[in-house]
């Protein structure tokens, strides 16, 4: 038993070593990919479910590694955050998204919104507001059609800092939405003070709407909350007609999900928009 214990202990440390080495390896590969322009941004459309009219898109980062395989964002974003790479990469995503937003407006999609994910490390970086302003000025993107997606946990870490930063962002006219809403633990009083424009219902709660068990009681509650706070609401990960119909019956009309469209390159997005009913 003693030998077994020692053995499993050493396996444990071995695994830890492997994991750390793997993370460091990935961090170097990610930095190289960024420097060699092997990262790209895809755009997932957002629609009004009542008419399936496109209303906007979310910019999502993609990484195709040397072997030609896609590394899932859930794997490399945490590494980008942990290493600080997310500050430069995130700024580049923001500029790319602003550029595309401006382009779509020029093509005549003048109400089209662009949502961009922003990590804590970017947000709390002293240069963030400047880089946001620069992205808007240099791309000439319409600020009021840009939405930054932040998470609830950011409200918990340092609410005072967040409130100050959000005030500045609002002065640019940029909108704020809370991503994955309901999965964090931010207090409702924070939510009101943050003065956000939109809540995004996490895919997990949309998933609960299915013919096996769920009625989507949490999704319903989030829609009601948004109504009583008078802020917009969108559901993510909508895959079935049942989910769409149920969400609409709750009063949620905006959605993003495979039922409507997958994340796609900017050229595919433009082609997709061209064959959709006009806005
Ligand atoms: P997220 O912000 O919650 O993004 C939504 C995710 O749901 C995306 O995964 C999208 O492809 C996926 N999705 C959308 N509709 C459906 C659906 O109907 N079914 C299913 N099964 N999935 C759906 P993705 O692109 O793999 O991104 C994962 C996460 O990585 C994102 O979650 C976000 O937290 C992070 N991420 C992606 N791009 C960026 C970025 O540029 N910056 C930062 N900071 N984070 C990013
Ligand atoms: Ca998001
Ligand atoms: Ca989300
Ligand atoms: Ca999510």
* Best mutation site among 39, 45, 56, 60 for ligand 1 pocket (most ligand atoms within 8 Å of CB): 60
Q: Is the pLDDT of residue 46 over 70?
A: yes
Report, as an integer, the average pLDDT of 40-69. 96
257 alpha carbon, closest ligand: 1
CA pair distance 227, 91, nearest whole angstrom: 33
Cα–Cα distance measured from residue 237 to residue 199, given in angstroms and rounded to the nearest whole number: 14
Q: Identify the pLDDT of residue 192.
A: 80
| Mean pLDDT of the chain, nearest integer | 91
Mean pLDDT value across residues 245-273: 97
Per-residue pLDDT, 13: 62
Minimum mean pLDDT range among 21-25, 27-31, 206-210, 245-249? 21-25
Strand ranges (DSSP E) for 32-163? 39-48, 53-64, 70-71, 113-117, 146-151
- pLDDT of amino acid 189: 75
Residue 1's pLDDT is 44
> pLDDT tens digits, residue range 149-204?
999 888 777 788 888 999 999 999 999 999 999 887 667 777 888 889 999 999 99
Percent of the chain surpassing pLDDT 70: 92
Per-residue confidence (pLDDT) for residue 214, from 0 to 100: 75
pLDDT digits (tens, 9 = 90+) for 112-141: 999 999 999 999 899 999 999 999 999 999
Which residues are found with C-beta within 5 Å of the ion, ligand 4? 180
For the CA of 258, the nearest atom of ligand 1: 18
Instruction: Report, as an integer, the average pLDDT of 62-86.
Output: 94
pLDDT at 28 over 90: yes
Band the pLDDT of 12: cuts 50, 70, 90.
Answer: low
Cα-to-centroid distance, 204 and ligand 4 (Å): 8
- Give me the residues near ligand 3 (ion), CB cutoff below 5 Å: 179-180, 236
- How remote is the CA of residue 172 from the centroid of ligand 4, in Å? 27
Rounded Cα distance, 70 and 276, in Å:
28
- Average pLDDT (12-23) is 75
Comparing 248 with 181, the larger pLDDT belongs to 248
Instruction: Please report the pLDDT score of residue 2 as a whole number.
Output: 46
Whole-number Å distance between alpha carbons of 206 and 152: 18
Residue 90 burial (CB < 10 Å; 0-12/13-18/19+)? buried
Of all protein residues, whose CA lies closest to atom 10 belonging to ligand 1? Answer: 263
Query: Which pLDDT tens digit goes with each residue over 204-236?
Result: 999 999 988 778 999 999 999 999 999 999 999
């Amino acid at each position: 038993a003693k030998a077994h214990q020692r053995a499993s202990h050493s396996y444990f440390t071995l695994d830890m070593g492997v994991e750390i080495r793997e993370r460091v390896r990935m961090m170097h590969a990610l930095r190289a990919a960024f420097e060699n322009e092997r990262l790209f941004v895809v755009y997932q459309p957002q629609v009004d479910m009542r008419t399936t009219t496109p209303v906007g898109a979310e910019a999502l980062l993609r990484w195709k590694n040397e072997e030609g395989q896609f590394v899932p964002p859930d794997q490399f974003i945490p590494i980008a955050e942990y290493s600080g790479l997310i500050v430069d990469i995130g700024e580049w995503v923001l500029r790319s998204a602003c550029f595309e937003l401006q382009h779509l407006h020029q093509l005549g999609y003048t109400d089209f919104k662009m949502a961009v994910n922003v990590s804590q490390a970017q947000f709390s970086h002293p240069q963030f507001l400047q880089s946001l302003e620069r992205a808007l000025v240099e791309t000439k993107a319409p600020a009021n059609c840009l939405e930054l997606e932040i998470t609830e946990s950011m409200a918990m870490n340092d609410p005072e800092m967040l409130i100050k930063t959000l005030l500045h962002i609002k002065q640019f006219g940029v909108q704020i939405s809370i991503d994955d809403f309901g999965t964090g633990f931010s207090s409702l009083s924070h939510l009101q003070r943050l003065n956000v424009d939109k809540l995004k219902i996490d895919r997990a709660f949309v998933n609960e709407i299915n013919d096996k068990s769920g009625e989507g009681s949490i999704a319903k509650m989030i829609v009601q909350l948004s109504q009583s706070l008078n802020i917009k609401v969108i559901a993510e990960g909508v895959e079935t007609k049942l989910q769409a119909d149920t969400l609409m019956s709750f009063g949620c009309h905006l959605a993003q999900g495979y039922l409507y469209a997958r994340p796609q390159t900017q050229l595919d997005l433009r082609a997709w928009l061209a064959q959709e009913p006009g806005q």
